[in-house]
Amino acid sequence: MSINIGIRAHDVSEHTFKHLFSVTANYGFNNVQFAPFKFLPKELIANSSRYSPGLLNDIDQKFRHAGVRISVLGNYVNMIDYENSIRNKNLQSYYDSLVAERFLHAAVVGSETGSILSPNGYSPHNFTNTALLRVIDSVKQITKTAEKLGALFAIEPGINHPLYDNYAVRRVLDAVNSPNLFVIFDLANLISKNNYKDQDTILTEAARLYGSRICTFHLKDVDFMDGKKVTVPFGSGIIDVERYIDFINKLKPYTFATFEATKENDLDNAISVFRKADKQATTRIKALQ
């Protein structure tokens, strides 16, 4: 197996470190995507202002003891909120998370780009040039801090957000032009009822336009029910798993990739589907060596 698979921490059934690490140990996961505000009790950390060196060190020691790496430190707050007071507060959360990245030895701080509406609601205004310029402005501010700290920041595309296709991603990367800016790639996020048959085109475009900037991947699946896109456990939807895993292996062998929105009772099947596709992909790769 040439991909380091993991899980999103807040997808486990019990939000305690004891239970999380029992799941990682049981399945042999060596990394997790960890969003503190979604996993830890609100009484402990409702927002980034509650971070302290002592708290972060305590969390870091728990991960080290379990032998688990934080592949993505999630900070999913809206960086382009129309209300500037909210937007500025959220930008501060990114700065705080970049500091936390260093304490927690996380690989990268990751986030979607958010929505013009609050909180993160769908809006056709997300697909305007104005929205994309707002993303560029926010990402420039975040990466400026990342560069000062020696930290890494990654944006995640999605069809309901300003980074709704591969070309929008490339535009942001070019405009920000920071060595500390990367991309979290999730094929399911870029799928719609209009393009789900064109998955190979989406992957080929991504590799050509910004493949070198992808730092980690999500393993998620989707389907369409009553005309609406819904998230389903990995391997049970319309994602071409074999093609996706082959894409990951060729582009970034040994990368971190985390199951997303796959609950514990669906992990056995998801891992079985992944391993079958990964075995086929690595066999093809070895044949080329």
Is the backbone of residue 128 left (phi > 0), alpha (psi -120 to 50) or beta? beta
* Residues near 48 by beta carbon (within 8 Å), at least 6 away in sequence: 37, 75, 92, 93, 96, 97, 100
In the DSSP assignment, the letter for residue 12 is S
* CB atoms closer than 10 angstroms to residue 213: 17
Residue type, 215: C
What is the β-pairing status of strands 31-34 and 109-112? unpaired
Total of domains in the chain:
1
CATH classification of the domain holding 163: 3.20.20.150
Q: What is the mean pLDDT of residues 81-109?
A: 95
pLDDT in tens, 175-221: 999 999 999 999 999 999 999 999 999 999 999 999 999 999 999 99
DSSP 245-266: HHHHHHHSTT-EEEE-S--GGG
Contacts of 58 (CB under 8 A, 6+ apart): none
**What is the C-alpha separation between 166 and 158, in angstroms, rounded?**
10
pTM, full prediction: 0.94
**What tokens appear for 240 in the block?**
């071409």
pLDDT exceeds 60 at position 144:
yes
Dist. CA 224–CA 241, nearest whole Å: 17
Range(s) of the domain holding residue 274: 4-288
pLDDT class of 58 with cuts at 50, 70, 90: very high
**Per-residue pLDDT reduced to its tens digit, 22-39:** 999 999 999 999 999 999
- Give residue 234's pLDDT: 97
User: Measured between alpha carbons, how far is 196 from 198 in angstroms, rounded to an integer?
Assistant: 5
Q: Are 170 and 132 in contact (CB under 8 A)?
A: no
User: Tens digits of per-residue pLDDT, 164-182?
Assistant: 999 999 999 999 999 999 9
pLDDT of residue 182: 98
